[in-house]
């Protein structure tokens, strides 16, 4: 308790001292209206560009943050009534007449491409912003930034760009509609920065200077885009996005007849103001979303897969980032799980410079045949900025069964509610970050849940992000009766302490091939609500990152587990065997992780783990991925997970007889991306999961025939592994159209 109070004191001392002037306030670009027509063709020949201010003089971020970039980048901005225009010329310090890119597909990986990103922070709050960019071959990237440094690349919107590669430099020209952005009317200063990666020279650079330990999108270090007059406020910012879908589904395992789908639905985006947006949906369909990458699950708890459905993404941080990684009171993938969404609405954005709001209401279709009531999900989040970059947040969640019948809806409750408070700390320089979280759930008493009390959460995180020292303290308390039915909280009834320390060493020699290296130590400890220690993992690791962006991490760990429920360590998806509740297990393990440089056409990663396991057994795990690209049109990868579990002492669920058992699991995954143009993509996934006894084939063709408007053709098969007999098959054709009213 004393340590916790001390950390809380440090936490609030940093709050008090967190007010300061913007770091890169003196780094400014003055934008003026366009003096003529701008054509987005990558040529920069329009006379209007010559009447704009020339910007440039980038700083290197890596391999050193104390020198100007060797690869020169020049840029210009202008605007008219409808668009913000940006142009850039990216000169290369190594002139070998080639570029490095993955493909022409949208939302590429920054670290694997020669590319340039524009970071915009229209509210100048150093917390929320947008990213727009392309790689050297013209593939687009867009995303939203939250909490000053968290990037969500799944956000997708309408904008226009063109690139030209000229051998020793490349040109980017883009037009971003003001209707795409969210900003306060009348604001004449926006936060702005550029982030550029030139893989041939191993150089990452930015316009406004950023310390090397931070991501290049860190909003604490943006410069200023200064408008001579306030940017225009879009009129009639109202978009309708209808879809039409047809398809065939057949379940071969059940032997049912094929069903034909004929669905229509619509989304709408209404700008209540230039900073506040209303999203509406009726009968949404998410069949075009990429399939999740399968993993071998040997964990006692539920796995997490992120939200990728477009309707939930704008200002998604207000909802999905509330809480911690494994304490999320709201998780949008719970909505529509098993019962399709009938309709929904989301109001999100800024009411003023300091106050954000998120209001959501979703309702599922009735599905009484499966014993599920019609469910309504409502959420209110308020986030108030305090000091320079910190904020406090309040959340209220209500999941309500509208036609609840306790006799028919077995396993469901009439309602589940959560009330939450959090404080997010972010110092002006991002040196200190942290979070304080309080949650309380409300669930009616039932036969299956007759008790109340101990239904709250308290958690604290504090991190120091220094150049040479990274320090973390985190503790969590989750009550045994805490209930977040719309959240992701895989573990209940525990107290956790998780301190970690990392020391970063930067070689002084400019000829060194190493960018940074150093050791780290972490100790993750759990106690149950009776104050009995149930788990710990002590980890020592040493990481080396090279200037060519390859990386190697060596680690060793000591684990101890006192189980709080019986568990099948051979395969959590079956109950054939188990190790008993309250049984104790400990083991040592070691391994390494290696990521090759992305500069080469052939890339690979390799992770290994060898050591003990539950029930005095052993486990060997190997994960590898090999990729090759025929840039920019084809990217191919194949990977495999192998787990060899031997001599685990387990009891047979049928007889309780204890014996030594072994298992081996293969998971093979491959992906082929063919990008015919930067608007026509063909992606195919093939995944073989021995643990789940399933083979999955998913192939998707996407044609972006107009900005943010698509035609999708998706084909999916699931097979029995040994015989390749078909379990189920589906083919879907879907068309969406983004119509600005």
Q: Which residue has the higher pLDDT, 503 or 573?
A: 503
Please count the residues of the chain: 741
Nearest in space to 587 (alpha carbons), one of 556, 559, 619, 550: 559
Nearest in space to 537 (alpha carbons), one of 593, 479, 609: 609
Q: How confident is the model at residue 498 (pLDDT cuts 50, 70, 90)?
A: very high
Biggest CA–CA distance in the chain, Å, is 84
Q: Which residue has the higher pLDDT, 723 or 32?
A: 32
The two counts, helices (H) then strands (E), for the chain are: 2, 39
Pair type for strands 28-31 and 223-227:
parallel
The Cβ of residue 722 has, within 10 Å, a number of other Cβ atoms equal to 8
Q: 408-433 burial by CB neighbour count: b if 16+ within 10 A, else e? A: ebeebbbebbbbbebbbbbbbbbbbb
Span 301-320, mean pLDDT? 85
Span 327-344, mean pLDDT? 88
Residue 278 in this model has a pLDDT that exceeds 80 = yes
Q: How confident is the model at residue 1 (pLDDT cuts 50, 70, 90)?
A: very low
> How far is it, in rounded angstroms, from Cα 704 to Cα 118?
22
- Listed range (109-118, 294-303, 430-439) with the worst mean pLDDT: 294-303
Nearest in space to 343 (alpha carbons), one of 375, 309, 307: 375
> How far is it, in rounded angstroms, from Cα 61 to Cα 516?
13
- Tokens 């030594």 found at: 660
Residue 505 in this model has a pLDDT that exceeds 50 = yes
- What tokens does 264 get? 């229509």
Nearest in space to 323 (alpha carbons), one of 344, 304, 336: 304
What are the Cα distances from residue 334, in Å, to 363, 403, 487, 627?
12, 19, 7, 33
Model pLDDT, residue 309: 80
- Listed range (12-26, 272-286, 353-367, 642-656) with the worst mean pLDDT: 12-26
- Listed range (105-119, 147-161, 309-323, 622-636) with the worst mean pLDDT: 309-323
Nearest in space to 700 (alpha carbons), one of 688, 714, 710, 711: 714
E strands in 387-454? 390-401, 415-426, 432-442
> How far is it, in rounded angstroms, from Cα 63 to Cα 67?
10
Residue 171 in this model has a pLDDT that exceeds 50 = yes
pLDDT tens figures, 205-256:
999 999 999 999 999 999 999 999 999 988 888 999 999 999 999 999 888 8
Span 333-359, mean pLDDT? 90
Percentage, residues of the chain above pLDDT 90: 80
Model pLDDT, residue 2: 41
Across the chain, mean pLDDT equals: 92
Contact 397, 373 (CB under 8 A): no
Residue 394 in this model has a pLDDT that exceeds 70 = yes
> How far is it, in rounded angstroms, from Cα 275 to Cα 121?
12
Model pLDDT, residue 450: 65
Model pLDDT, residue 623: 97
Q: 146-159 burial by CB neighbour count: b if 16+ within 10 A, else e? A: bbbbebbbbbbbbb
Residue 32 in this model has a pLDDT that exceeds 70 = yes
Q: How confident is the model at residue 413 (pLDDT cuts 50, 70, 90)?
A: confident
> How far is it, in rounded angstroms, from Cα 697 to Cα 674?
16
Percentage, residues of the chain above pLDDT 70: 95
- What tokens does 170 get? 């490349």
pLDDT tens figures, 717-733:
999 998 889 999 999 99
Span 409-428, mean pLDDT? 89
> How far is it, in rounded angstroms, from Cα 301 to Cα 236?
48
pLDDT tens figures, 446-495:
655 666 789 999 999 999 999 999 999 999 999 999 999 999 999 999 99
Residue 5 in this model has a pLDDT that exceeds 70 = no
Span 515-520, mean pLDDT? 98
> How far is it, in rounded angstroms, from Cα 304 to Cα 638?
23
Output phi, psi for 2, to 5 deg: -65, -40
Span 337-355, mean pLDDT? 89
Residue 372 in this model has a pLDDT that exceeds 80 = no
């Amino acid at each position: 308790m004393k340590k916790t109070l001390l950390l809380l004191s440090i936490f609030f001392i940093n709050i008090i001292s967190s007010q300061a002037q913007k770091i890169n306030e003196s780094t400014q670009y003055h934008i003026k209206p366009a003096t003529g027509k701008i054509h987005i063709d990558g040529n920069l020949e329009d006379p209007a560009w010559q009447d704009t201010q020339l910007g440039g003089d980038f700083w290197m971020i890596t391999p050193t943050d104390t020198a100007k970039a060797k690869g020169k980048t020049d840029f210009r901005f202008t605007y008219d009534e409808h668009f913000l225009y940006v142009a850039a010329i990216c000169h290369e310090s190594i002139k070998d007449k080639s570029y490095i890119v993955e493909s022409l597909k949208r939302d590429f990986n920054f670290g694997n491409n020669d590319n340039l990103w524009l970071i915009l922070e229209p509210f100048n709050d150093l917390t929320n912003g947008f990213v727009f960019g392309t790689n050297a071959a013209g593939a687009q990237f867009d995303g939203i930034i939250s909490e000053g440094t968290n990037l969500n690349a799944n956000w997708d919107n309408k904008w226009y760009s063109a690139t030209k590669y000229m051998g020793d430099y490349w040109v980017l020209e883009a037009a971003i509609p003001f209707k795409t952005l969210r900003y306060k009317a009348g604001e004449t200063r926006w936060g702005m920065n550029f982030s550029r990666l030139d893989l041939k020279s191993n150089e990452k650079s930015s316009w406004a200077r950023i310390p090397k330990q931070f991501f290049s999108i860190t909003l604490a270090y943006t410069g200023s885009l200064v408008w001579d007059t306030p940017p225009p406020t879009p009129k009639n910012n109202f978009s309708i996005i209808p879809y039409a879908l047809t398809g065939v589904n057949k379940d071969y395992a059940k032997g049912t007849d094929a069903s034909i789908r004929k669905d229509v639905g619509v989304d709408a985006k209404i700008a209540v103001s230039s900073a506040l947006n209303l999203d509406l949906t009726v009968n949404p369909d998410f069949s075009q979303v990429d399939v999740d990458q399968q993993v071998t699950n040997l964990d006692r708890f539920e796995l997490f897969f992120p939200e990728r459905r477009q309707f939930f993404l704008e200002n998604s941080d207000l909802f999905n980032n509330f809480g911690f990684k494994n304490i999320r009171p709201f998780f949008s993938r719970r909505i529509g799980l098993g019962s399709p969404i009938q309709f929904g609405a989301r109001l999100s954005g800024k009411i003023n410079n300091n106050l954000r709001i998120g209001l959501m209401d979703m309702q599922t279709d009735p599905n009484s045949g499966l014993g599920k009531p019609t469910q309504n999900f409502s959420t209110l989040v308020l986030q108030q900025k305090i000091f320079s970059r910190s904020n406090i947040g309040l959340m209220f969640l209500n999941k309500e069964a509208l036609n609840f019948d306790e006799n028919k809806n077995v396993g469901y409750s009439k309602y589940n509610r959560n009330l939450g408070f959090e404080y997010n700390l972010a110092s002006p320089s991002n040196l200190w970050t942290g979070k304080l979280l309080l949650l309380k759930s409300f669930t009616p008493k039932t036969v299956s849940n007759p008790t109340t009390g101990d239904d709250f959460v308290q958690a604290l995180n504090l991190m120091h992000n220094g150049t040479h020292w990274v320090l973390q303290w985190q503790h969590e308390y989750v009550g045994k009766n805490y209930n977040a039915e719309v959240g992701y909280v895989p573990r209940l009834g525990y107290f956790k302490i998780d301190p970690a320390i990392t020391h970063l060493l930067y070689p002084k020699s400019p000829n060194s091939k190493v960018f940074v290296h150093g050791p780290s130590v972490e100790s993750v400890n759990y106690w149950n609500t009776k104050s009995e220690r149930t788990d710990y993992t002590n980890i020592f690791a040493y990481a080396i990152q090279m200037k060519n962006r390859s990386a190697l991490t060596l680690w060793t760990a000591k684990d101890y587990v006192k189980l709080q429920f019986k568990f099948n360590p051979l395969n959590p998806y079956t109950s054939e065997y188990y190790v008993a509740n309250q049984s104790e297990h400990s083991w040592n393990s070691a391994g390494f992780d290696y990521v090759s440089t992305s500069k080469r056409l052939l890339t690979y990663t390799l992770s290994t783990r060898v050591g003990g396991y539950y029930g005095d057994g052993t486990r060997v795990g190997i994960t590898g991925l090999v990729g090759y690209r025929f840039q920019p049109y084809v990217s191919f990868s194949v990977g495999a997970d192998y787990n060899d579990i031997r001599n685990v002492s387990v009891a047979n669920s049928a007889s309780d007889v204890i014996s030594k058992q072994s298992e081996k699991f293969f998971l093979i995954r491959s992906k082929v991306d063919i990008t015919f143009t930067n608007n026509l993509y063909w992606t195919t996934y093939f995944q073989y999961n021995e643990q789940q006894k399933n083979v999955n084939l998913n192939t998707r063709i996407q044609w972006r025939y107009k900005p943010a408007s698509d035609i999708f053709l998706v084909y999916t098969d699931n097979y029995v592994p040994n015989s390749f007999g078909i379990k189920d098959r589906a083919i879907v054709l879907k068309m969406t159209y983004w119509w600005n009213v």
